[in-house]
Structure 1
Amino acid sequence: MIICSWNVKGLNDPSKVVEVKKILSRHNISVIAIIETRRKEGNAQRIQNKFGSAWLWEMNYTCSPKGRIWIGWKHNRVNFQLIRKTDQTIHGDLSDKDGLFSVCFTAVYGLHTIEHRRPLWNELVNLSAVLTKPWLIMGDFNSVLFSGDRVNGNPVQIAETKDFEECIQAAGITELKSCGNMFSWSNKGQGDQRISSRIDRAFGCCDWQSIFTEVCVDYLNPGISDHSPLLLDCNIAHHQGSRPFKFFNYMASHERFRQVVQEGWDTPVVGTAMFQVWQKLKAVKKGLKHLHHKHLHQSC
């Protein structure tokens, strides 16, 4: 299952449609969230027909006349069941035909002001409270999260990041690992005139992170847009064979148990509070797995 999110800055140019089709084919994408299509609802079907009959689509024209978000999926590979639309999100259940992959998926396109984005943060927190399966969130949030997320331009202010940070904490989500371009958007200026920022992101809840532990978001070159496409290979086959962690009661009475747990929990981690807890728990798990392996080896 390969999922893509891309702010294409409009599909009004035929060359952009061609470029999106190339991305879909080159990377064997099954699901794509196309952000900022700039197409009126009456023209949407004509554009979608150019992608072929293999693709089905959901759009949020009922909440935004500009159709700010389109989700497309290859219906012979996956199913997408719409649950909710707003002017800044499309949310639904995403699963593959083999029954190996079943998650909640939210495509995001944040509005352009701090005030107008606040309903988005509330929406994500409310969704987090009712989810019963792994949750993936991808898109253009139109907001930086850390002070280092912008190069040149105006310095990042606390007011810009505060609501985003609080949303992440309240929703219990963490950013997925990434590779490629650090900054997902630029004004394509030259030298000191080039402003770059990281406003396109992918997040997962704890259930997502525990299943797709090694998944990495690839930030591709922006190409026709001023935004980078985000590419996520969920690599189902790899994760299907992994062994779940098991805690054996005898370890609690082992003479090194408390030391191993303390060492894992003291691992220095930088990031949000939820991210720190998650990484510390992973460190504790690693130490306990090593203790279990060593104990069995000594017992044989």
Structure 2
Amino acid sequence: MKLACWNIRGFHKPLKQRGVQTLVGTQHIDVIGILESKFDDKALQNLLRIRFPGMKATHNFDMSNKGRIFVLWNPTRVDLTTVCLTDQVLHARVKCLMTQKEFCISFIYGFNTIVQRRLLWNDLIRFGANCSSPWILLCDFNNVLTPDEKQGGLKVKNYETKDFVDCVAILDLLDLKFSGCFYTWMSPKVCSKLDRVLVNQAWLSSDLNGHTEFQAPGCLSDHTVSIVSLLEDQKQKPKAFKFFNMWTLSEKFLDLVLDRWKFEGYGTCQYRLKQLFKGLKKPLQTLNRQHFGNISSRAAAAKRRLEELQRNMLHTGTILDEYKQLKRKTEIVMEAERLFIAQKTKINYLK
């Protein structure tokens, strides 16, 4: 099941309509909220007939003359019932017809000023106080949550974020895990995280799971499109093979490489090199499992054993035969831990 939300800023242009139609079709979107459409009810009905036949729609056009929020859904896969409407939010209840899972959903488009947005925060707090179900919010708040969510332009002041921070704290909301773009809106000089997907604690304790991908908007908008995937198979994909520098500390490493660096066959130089590396993959994985698995735990245990032996020797004044060998093994495993952490930190930094 997939949900989406997009601030498209004016939906009269055929290029934008075609773009959303393609998104719904290629991504298999079941529910999508369109923000700042500047549509009216008549234009929406024509759009459904031409671009989205078979889909149903709801909107808050009666609350605002600027076509702020409308929602499309596929009635063959989803049952959506509108619960409450204001000029800044559309609350609904969704039922997945395939899994029978139910949850609350809110599509939000906040006003531009702090004073106007206070009505939104109050509405969300009221709705959240009466919502015990899993709840997901797909939003363009027109507001950042922290100062580091804006780059360029004037610095963010505390009074600009205070109401938003208080609302999130009161409702105990968290960002749904996400990938893709961090900043979700851009102008020629400013990037900000105005769009986000939030969930409540009931959602986290449910089996709905979910993951958001913020995709670049292309020429259709200055906001990213938010795509939420729910109820997908949670089986982990096999992890890609990675070479760890700590393996070179093993006495068996060079012998293992020399023994496995063989390939009898034909092909291009690139193909033969690939086969040589492929022959090393399983032996190195075995080496890692036997000698470097849970390296931090191994290092801590080796350090404890060495310190215990040192205390006994310093207490009795007797130098034990195994001390030199144990000290060497502890140095190797602690150096292996250091290399592992350094390599992992470098990868995270590069990302």
TM-based fold match above 0.5:
yes
Gaps of 5+ in 1: 240-300
**Alpha-carbon distance, 1:41 to partner:** 3.0
- Please list the CA deviations of residues 19-73 of structure 1 after superposition, one character each: whole Å capped at 9, or x if unmatched: 0011111111000011110123332211222333221000101111112001110
The amino acid across from 1:50 in the alignment is I
Deviation at 1:222, TM superposition (A): 1.1
Q: Which runs of 5+ in 2 are unaligned?
A: 236-351
Instruction: Give the C-alpha shift of residue 96 in structure 1.
Output: 1.1
What is the distance in 1 between the residues matched to 2:208 and 2:38? 36
The structure with higher relative contact order (CA 8 Å, sep 6+) is 1
Structure whose residues are more often strand by fraction: 1
Query: Aligned-pair distance for 1:215?
Result: 2.4
Tell me whether 1:218 sits opposite 2:213 in the alignment: yes
Partner of 2:349: none
Which residues of 2 match residues 71-150 of structure 1 at below 5 A? 71-150=71-150
Once the two structures are superposed, the pairs formed by residues 215-254 of structure 1 within 5 Å of their partners are 215-223=210-218, 224-238=220-234
Q: How does 1:266-281 map to 2 (within 5 A)?
A: none
1:33–1:139 CA contact under 8 A, matched in 2: no
Q: Counterpart amino acid of 2:151?
A: V
1:135-159 CA deviation, whole Å, 9 max, x = no partner? 0111201101011111101111111
2:90 is paired with a residue of what secondary structure?
strand
Match of 2:79, as an amino acid? N
Residue in 1 that maps onto 2:63:
63
Q: Would the alpha carbon gap of residues 12 and 146 (structure 1) be closer, same or farther in structure 2, given more than 3 Å must change?
A: same
Q: What is the alpha-carbon distance in structure 1 between the residues aligned to residue 96 and residue 211 of structure 2?
A: 20
Match of 1:295 in 2: none
Amino acid at match of 1:124: L
1:226-281 C-alpha deviation (Å, 9 max, x unpaired): 00000100134549xxxxxxxxxxxxxxxxxxxxxxxxxxxxxxxxxxxxxxxxxx
Moved more, 113-122 or 169-178: 169-178
Q: 1:193-235: per-residue Cα shift (whole Å, max 9, x none)?
A: x311000011101011122575221000112100000010013
Partner of 2:178: 178
Preserved CA contact (<8 Å) 1:6 1:230: yes
- Greater fraction helix: 2
Taking the aligned partners of 1:100 and 1:75, their CA distance within structure 2 comes to 14
For these two proteins, the number of residue pairs brought into alignment is 234
Find the counterpart in structure 1 of residue 196 from structure 2: 201
Give the Cα separation in 2 of the matches to 1:34 and 1:88: 13
Task: Give the conservation status (yes or no) of the 8 Å contact 2:110–2:140.
Answer: yes
Q: Is the 8 A contact 1:41 1:65 kept in 2?
A: no
| Rounded Cα–Cα distance in structure 2 between residues aligned with 1:16 and 1:50 | 14
Q: Distance in 2 between matches of 1:75 and 1:124?
A: 27
- Normalised to the residue count of structure 2, the TM-score between the two structures is 0.64
| TM-score normalised by structure 1 residue count | 0.75
Q: Sequence identity, in percent?
A: 29
